[in-house]
Amino acid sequence: MNETIQRQVARMDVDRLRAYRENLDFYRGLQWPGVARRGERRLTFNYARVLGEKLASYLVSGLSFALEPVEPGEEAEARAREASLAVRRVYEENRLEELDSDTELDAAVLGDGCYKVTWDAQEERVRVTAPDVQGLYAWWVADDPSRVWRVASRYRLSADEADALYGVRPPQRKAEATVLEVWTAERLQLWVEESLAEERPNPYGFIPFVIFPNVREPKQFWGTSDVPVLMEPSRELNRALSQLSTILELSGNPIAVLEGVEEAQDIAVQPGAVWELPEKARAYLLDLLQGGGVKLHTDYIELLYRALHDLSETPRISFGENVRSLSGVALEMEMQPLLQRVRRKRLIRGAVYRQRVEMMLRILEQRTGVSYGPLRARVMWGPVLPQDRLRLVQEERTLVEAGLHSRQRAMEALGVEDPQGEAERIQSEASVAGAAALAEQAAEDRR
């Protein structure tokens, strides 16, 4: 069975891994097909990279979370607050704001992303990492891709690292060793090259991986990348701009055309140059710009720009080009394609972040012995469009006064990280201010 797993991993997902490499190469700027001809100009305008980074920043900017008790009561509220502080500490220790941004961009390029939540026994804390999905393999129930029952993670270590960590050295003349972790909910196997270095019960009772698609295909486990849809228009844009650049260069250094001349020498296109031509011969400069030729090229390039923005669902206004000074509802309508795309991705990411928080709490409960009770994790997203903060404060105040929002919910909407703690500080300050006012009034009465 173990050999079967290794053989399966060696031949699994060939098409998926090849697509990863192609998408990553294109994102890095390798966008011209074939080998360049001699003297061929190949300009690369890497819109795939720019659009990917822009969408990732829109998606995860202002991301936060809240933990709410399932059961009512002050004790449940206290446990929820304690759990929130513990999870926030995990976020800070693992620099998850930065990791989430990097992982989101990686998922957009490759098509899939992953988080791994484990316990670091040496530092005695929860560790959250983002393994490379190019080394991940998953098995799921045939009729339900959401039910993963086995995950394999393959990566490489140097020979010294493999020896220090697992006491196994790769064969001679190999500088690196291939490590394969095979996880199920019950067992963990660790293979180094062809040797089983370790096998033991799963210390967590669950598979500590959260594998998610960038954009989900119906009924499929693995997702799709944002890059393939941009490949054709990007390549055509590179070709059109390279062609226009060549034309403009030739127009600035015009070609001399001679008619009726059998031999020519010392013909130079420069100011003050004098040409001696035989009788009935004719000479002129080739003008590649006559007849409005450049406008045809620029019009075509504008069409390619439009295709890029349409296919990426990223309107030009998202690059800051607000010529009509739109705001409010008008700006929202203009940005609607981007808003819808961000919303589709957030539907997937919300479930991912909730599952990750649940894993953090389960591991903390196992290792620290603290029971946080049943909790509900809620992901709060930052606004995509610019916000009028004063107006937002007024809206939340109205909702609180109308009894539609609690003060804690209003503070969460305004981006307060610890609403309960902030409320206690406000109450403490009010008590101090009230006591000071009473003391001042008493002193005034005595006078």
pLDDT of 2 > 60? The answer is: no
State the pLDDT confidence band at 196, using cuts at 50, 70 and 90.
Answer: confident
Residue listed under structure tokens 């990732």 = 56
Residue 355 neighbours by CB under 8 Å, 6+ apart: 210
More confidently predicted of 268 and 226: 226
The C-alpha atoms of residue 201 and residue 180 are separated, in whole angstroms, by: 16
pLDDT of 269 > 60? The answer is: no
Cα–Cα nearest to 381, from 188, 157, 104: 104
Instruction: Check residue 275 and give its pLDDT.
Output: 63
Instruction: Provide, rounded to the nearest whole percent, the portion of the chain with pLDDT above 90.
Output: 40
Q: Which of 45-49, 88-92, 362-366, 406-410 is the least confident region? A: 406-410
The C-alpha atoms of residue 360 and residue 206 are separated, in whole angstroms, by: 12
Instruction: Check residue 400 and give its pLDDT.
Output: 82
Backbone φ and ψ of 38, nearest 5° = -65, 125
Cα–Cα nearest to 36, from 239, 255, 247, 248: 239
What are the pLDDT digits (tens) for 24-40? Answer: 999 999 999 888 888 88
pLDDT of 440 > 90? The answer is: no
Q: What is the DSSP string of 379-439?
A: EEPPPSS---HHHHHHHHHHHHHTTSS-HHHHHHHTT-S-HHHHHHHHHHHHHHHHHHHHH
**DSSP assignment letter at 224:** B
Instruction: Check residue 298 and give its pLDDT.
Output: 87
Cα–Cα nearest to 124, from 411, 434, 364: 364
Cα–Cα nearest to 373, from 166, 39, 69, 48: 69
**DSSP assignment letter at 192:** E
What are the pLDDT digits (tens) for 291-347? Answer: 666 788 888 999 999 999 999 988 888 887 777 777 777 877 888 898 899 999 999
What are the pLDDT digits (tens) for 6-16? Answer: 778 888 899 99
Beta bridge partners of 120: 125
Residue 418 CA: distances (Å) to CA of 83, 151, 413, 422: 12, 36, 12, 6
Q: What is the DSSP string of 262-282?
A: S---S---STT------TT-E
What are the pLDDT digits (tens) for 142-152? Answer: 888 889 999 99
Instruction: Check residue 206 and give its pLDDT.
Output: 95
Instruction: Check residue 77 and give its pLDDT.
Output: 85
Do the Cβ atoms of 372 and 365 come closer than 8 Å?
yes
Instruction: Check residue 293 and give its pLDDT.
Output: 66
Name the most confidently modeled range: 52-61, 193-202, 401-410.
52-61
Mean pLDDT of 50-72: 87
Instruction: Check residue 88 and give its pLDDT.
Output: 92
The C-alpha atoms of residue 315 and residue 328 are separated, in whole angstroms, by: 16
More confidently predicted of 62 and 120: 120
The C-alpha atoms of residue 89 and residue 87 are separated, in whole angstroms, by: 5
More confidently predicted of 281 and 46: 46
Q: Which of 124-138, 147-161, 255-269, 355-369 is the least confident region? A: 255-269
Residue 250 CA: distances (Å) to CA of 239, 270, 311, 410: 17, 14, 34, 63
Do the Cβ atoms of 64 and 380 come closer than 8 Å?
yes
Cα–Cα nearest to 129, from 107, 147, 103: 103
**Residue-level length of the chain:** 447
Mean pLDDT of 41-66: 90
Name the E strands within 130-203.
Answer: 136-141, 144-158, 176-183, 187-192, 195-201
For 390-403, letters b (16+ CB in 10 Å) and e give eeeeeebeeebeee
- Side chain identity at residue 121, one-letter code: A
Q: Which of 32-41, 175-184, 397-406 is the least confident region? A: 397-406
80-86: long-range contacts at Cβ-Cβ below 8 A with a sequence spacing of 24 or more?
Answer: 80/372, 80/373, 80/375, 81/418, 81/420, 81/421, 82/370, 82/372, 83/361, 83/372, 83/375, 84/418, 84/420, 85/418, 86/360, 86/361, 86/364, 86/370, 86/372
Q: 73 is written with which tokens?
A: 């009561």
CB atoms within 10 A of CB 245: 13
The C-alpha atoms of residue 310 and residue 317 are separated, in whole angstroms, by: 12
HSE-up of 142 (CA within 13 Å, CB side)? 0
Residue 46, H or E segment:
none
The C-alpha atoms of residue 31 and residue 25 are separated, in whole angstroms, by: 8
For 53-65, letters b (16+ CB in 10 Å) and e give bebbebbbeebbb
pLDDT of 213 > 60? The answer is: yes
Q: What is the mean pLDDT of the chain?
A: 84
Instruction: Check residue 24 and give its pLDDT.
Output: 95
